[in-house]
Amino acid sequence: MHIELLTAVLLIGGAALALYGILRRMRAAERALRQSERQLRLVAENDARRFEFLAHHDPLTGLPNRAMFEERAREAVARAQRRGETAALLFLDMDHFKDINDSLGHEVGDELLRATAERLRGCVRGEDFVARIGGDEFCILLQGLAEPREAAGVAQKVVETLGQPCRIGAHEVASGTSVGIACTPQDSIDPGELLKLADAAMYRAKDAGRHAYRFWAPNINRELHASAGLAEELRDSLERSELFVCYQPRIDFLTRKPVGAEALLRWPHPRFGLLPPESFLPLAEDAGIADALGAMLLTNACAQAKRWRDAGAKDFTVAISIPARTVRHPGLPGDVSAALAASGLPPAALLLELPEAALRQAAAPVREALAALAGTGARLGVDDFGSGYASLPLLRSLRLGAVSIDRRLVASIPSDRDAPGLVRGLIALARGLEMDVVVRGIDTAAHCNFVIAAGGLVGQGAFLASAGLATEVEPLLAPRRAA
């Protein structure tokens, strides 16, 4: 009896151990299966991301492809129509690429295409869009332009940059490019048609001898030819010290007194009269003297602001708008520091206003440029706030201390039903971020009353005070000094 019971126990125990072993193997198999499923999911997700990337990007250069470019072009055309701006489409075809590909091989040709993509990224602003649309053809989309001729500066930079020899392995390769430009709404409001027009303009550049750019609109090409002569005149005027600085006061609504002024260059042209900076700065960029003009403006403005502060305007601030293409110029921080040192102006009394559009994506080069400018001690602000759709987290991360609201928004208040709410919102947003706010474009009493009711504290515009020479601004400062 005892033997039979022991045998039964042993049998049961053996079965239990066997069952336990089976269960352990089943659990191990389940864990392995789950791990395999996770790995498969990761592979599938990675493949999906890769397929998504390849659906919209060129696998060789990593640039967006034709499909993505056409999608962005549609968005740009709609935005230009909505905001009354100009957008430009640049069509690039590399010169002599086939000869290089045939003589040196496809590997060298592929490396040249990759190098070209990198160079093109360095030729444009953060908000511009570069794509490879096939073969040795690339496209650039420029948005937020005031007029078509602004695209000429980018096209010239592209032509000059791609015209420089490029080292590919043991070979020094020189290709170059021809560029065609079409603009919306001037040439067409159809994205597909714009691409065709830019392509046709590119062949005009080829016919002109390659290594050049041409607009689709013949009148712009004629104007640019004439502007080459104007650029030489501007260079001569700079050398003769004929340009001078005007100042437009910024008025505190509470005290009705100036708290600062924007420094503005003026060019007295013998035929066209007194020209504002927006009419000749593109010429200066084409002629390669924009940096010299900027240094001259900084030097004069800082010296004048120091004189005003010494005369009693203790908290007076001078503001200077920095063009988008100058923001990343490596010499700008040095020019700022030199102007501050030469004048003795406290760095915090200089406000450098940077275009919102140039800050929108804040790529690494822009952040580095802003850090270098901040290192001078000058304050940094956003120019034309409300025009470039810079995000709130971006503004916070860049630690900018001031904004000037786009004058076009104020000017559109009578006709655009969305403008009043947008201006109110921008003022509230900036003040909520503890930024100083200047509202530009106050040219009528109605503008002034609206901005005050919307919470604006400081304004700038013809209704408050016109731009004038330093001697013409003096009388406005006298009551402030007496106070």
CATH number of residue 255's parent domain:
3.20.20.450
Does residue 13 belong to any structural domain of this protein? no
Same domain, 165 and 247: no
Reduce the DSSP state of residue 384 to 3 states and report it: strand
Domain that holds residue 98: 66-216
Same domain, 183 and 238: no
Q: What is the pLDDT along the chain (483 residues), one digit of tens a residue?
A: 555 554 554 455 555 556 656 667 777 777 777 777 777 676 655 555 555 556 778 889 889 999 999 999 999 999 888 888 889 999 999 988 888 888 888 888 899 999 999 888 888 877 788 999 988 999 999 988 888 878 888 888 888 888 888 888 888 787 888 999 999 998 889 999 899 899 988 988 887 677 888 888 766 656 655 566 777 888 899 999 999 999 999 999 988 889 999 999 999 988 777 888 877 887 787 677 888 999 999 999 999 999 999 988 888 999 999 887 787 778 899 999 999 999 999 999 999 998 876 676 556 777 788 889 989 999 999 887 776 555 566 666 777 888 888 887 887 776 667 778 888 888 888 888 888 999 998 888 888 998 999 888 999 998 999 899 999 998 888 755 544
Same domain, 242 and 377: yes
Last residue of a domain, one of 190, 216, 242: 216
CATH number at 188 reads 3.30.70.270
Same domain, 449 and 387: yes
Same domain, 356 and 460: yes
Same domain, 263 and 399: yes
Tell me the pTM: 0.57
Neighbouring-strand partners of residue 266: 244
- Cα angle for residues 295, 299, 300 (degrees, 5° grid): 120
Does residue 360 belong to any structural domain of this protein? yes
Does residue 243 belong to any structural domain of this protein? yes
Q: Which two tokens stand for residue 99?
A: 């000869």
Same domain, 350 and 439: yes
Total number of domains constituting the chain? 2
Cβ neighbors of 21 (< 8 A, separation 6 or more) are none
Same domain, 455 and 351: yes
Cα distance between residue 180 and residue 214, in whole Å: 5
Does residue 41 belong to any structural domain of this protein? no
Q: What 8-state DSSP symbol labels residue 57? A: B
Same domain, 272 and 420: yes
